[in-house]
Structure 1
């Protein structure tokens, strides 16, 4: 949570690339502390470093992609990070029981080292460079990103014009979050960050083995299936993102998770009614696979949307706030999930399904489509609403 709340400010001060470099370095140190731990304090420090740096990396990486990739392919590329996360979960679930944990921690350093080295060969975000007044570097960065033969003059001018219009009123960034012109983007970002964790995904993921065991499923088969089913669905989300847009895909994602939660709740209700174990176990198994399939399908979507809707001059502050709210509520849900599940296994999932249904209404009411729109065009949407 601490990493999340400072992520935007760190990215605003040292740049998107600098913040990612900082996060990757801490991730490597954290994994090495765990791999070569000589006592419990090494493990605690390693876990703290991993949590802090993940909080920084999660938001900043999405912002960097959103600010550098052309609008027509931005969604798919940004969502690809979710595919990699799902692939990582699949690897950990599959090999966690057969590979020593110290060696597993060393494996965790490999993608971090690759990205740390790779960051030396990519440019800084042109929009951040415009934000700090580095015009020549902005043009060089944009030229590298779009190709040597591409005319970047119009895009560079649009970035500069939008950046200048945002700074006509020099007031503090926290004040700006309360301005009428930012009411809708802040409501969207904070609203999604607050409501989505209460769909229970983090708690369900952490307690997946216990849920399957309580339902009478084969835990090994069920968790392995759950981890691998996420990969094709996350690939599907990447492929469909720029074809159908954020809004419809998020609604499909929420509807699928809602239905999956209902099936899990029905399965445990059948168990409470003392109906055949195979029926309740199968219903829970199918519901869990559906729940996590749609989780993988659209789990990265909220961060894509948050990175797109916030204007440059509040992106750091608003993004940090949204990320912090997301992590805080995810932690609360993970903490209370076990108590809620013991109170009523069926009732817990019915509650989660109701929250997903409310989220569908929230998306219908609040979220505009941002597919193939430049970040400057998205900013113009909020200006038009105010006027």
Structure 2
């Protein structure tokens, strides 16, 4: 916009007055100039790694976020808690939502300190373990007399598993994919690519929501096992392909995809 002095002053305040910003100023100006020359890209350009790779990461993360089954668990949490032995499922659902809010607040405070990638890994590992507890307890409950002490213990374990899933989801995979997507997409495809990734996210959310009740009626243990497999794959996906974006400029991130 021609506001070079304001731009440099703002960047200096952001980075600190004892930091040399000359190289970053040059990188940003060069990136803006390049983006202005080519505001749109051709279909053939999508074959370049710097375009398709970050787009694939963004879409993959947002699809896995929903395939974890979180919306199905939230929407049918009252039925799930009642099936686990809690008489008042509505109160349990309110408590489930409250712990998710707290976990999300914790995630917001940690994302710029711990890093995006480590929180995604912790979140995915935690969800996998929690879903394993829920699946195993629901499977075993089917073969244990309801009046027994073991059945009561299994009910507690299943509730801990479901609540743990919600906590670990909110700690990372629930919010960080949106942050990463905004940081890894090139400027000249950010609008279109972001729209495609969001469409994929909500389409998968619709599929999960429509199938969750059918799956839960079929087998609660089987349902949580499916979600556990997805969370396990998320660990692999993050470990292999998702870059750490903490403390890196947009220009540095883009260069890593070339």
TM-score norm. by structure 1 comes to: 0.59
Question: Which residue pairs with 1:191 in the alignment?
Answer: 60
Question: Which residue pairs with 2:198 in the alignment?
Answer: 323
Question: Which residue pairs with 1:135 in the alignment?
Answer: 2
Report matched runs for 1:81-230 at 5 Å: 134-136=1-3, 140=6, 143=9, 147=13, 154=22, 155-166=24-35, 172=41, 175-217=44-86, 218-230=88-100
2:165 to 291, 295, 300: 291
Shift, 1:152, TM fit: 9.8
RMSD: 2.5
Q: 1:285 to 1:170 in 2, by over 3 A?
A: closer
Structure number with higher helix proportion: 1
Question: Which residue pairs with 2:127 in the alignment?
Answer: 257
Instruction: Give the secondary-structure state (helix, strand or coil) at the position aligned to 1:292.
Output: helix
C-alpha offsets along residues 20-72 of structure 1, whole Å, 9 cap, x if unaligned? xxxxxxxxxxxxxxxxxxxxxxxxxxxxxxxxxxxxxxxxxxxxxxxxxxxxx
Q: Is the 8 A contact 1:260 1:287 kept in 2?
A: yes
Which deviates the most, 150-159 or 172-181? 150-159
Any gaps of 5 or more consecutive residues in structure 1?
1-133
| Separation in structure 2 between the aligned mates of residue 186 and residue 376 of structure 1, nearest angstrom | 16
| Separation in structure 1 between the aligned mates of residue 13 and residue 122 of structure 2, nearest angstrom | 36
C-alpha offsets along residues 172-208 of structure 1, whole Å, 9 cap, x if unaligned? 3655434333232112111112222111011111111
Question: Which residue pairs with 1:332 in the alignment?
Answer: 207
Q: Is the 8 A contact 1:262 1:350 kept in 2?
A: yes
Structure with bigger RCO (C-alpha 8 Å, 6+ apart):
2
Instruction: Give the secondary-structure state (helix, strand or coil) at the position aligned to 1:135.
Output: coil
TM-score norm. by structure 2 comes to: 0.86
Shift, 1:215, TM fit: 1.6
Shift, 1:236, TM fit: 2.4
| Separation in structure 2 between the aligned mates of residue 319 and residue 174 of structure 1, nearest angstrom | 16
| Separation in structure 2 between the aligned mates of residue 311 and residue 320 of structure 1, nearest angstrom | 14
The answer to whether residue 113 in structure 2 is matched with residue 243 in structure 1 is: yes
Instruction: Give the secondary-structure state (helix, strand or coil) at the position aligned to 2:248.
Output: coil
| Separation in structure 1 between the aligned mates of residue 251 and residue 32 of structure 2, nearest angstrom | 9
Shift, 1:245, TM fit: 1.3
C-alpha offsets along residues 238-261 of structure 1, whole Å, 9 cap, x if unaligned? 232222211111000011111111
Q: 1:146 to 1:314 in 2, by over 3 A?
A: same
The answer to whether residue 225 in structure 2 is matched with residue 358 in structure 1 is: no
| Separation in structure 2 between the aligned mates of residue 205 and residue 173 of structure 1, nearest angstrom | 41
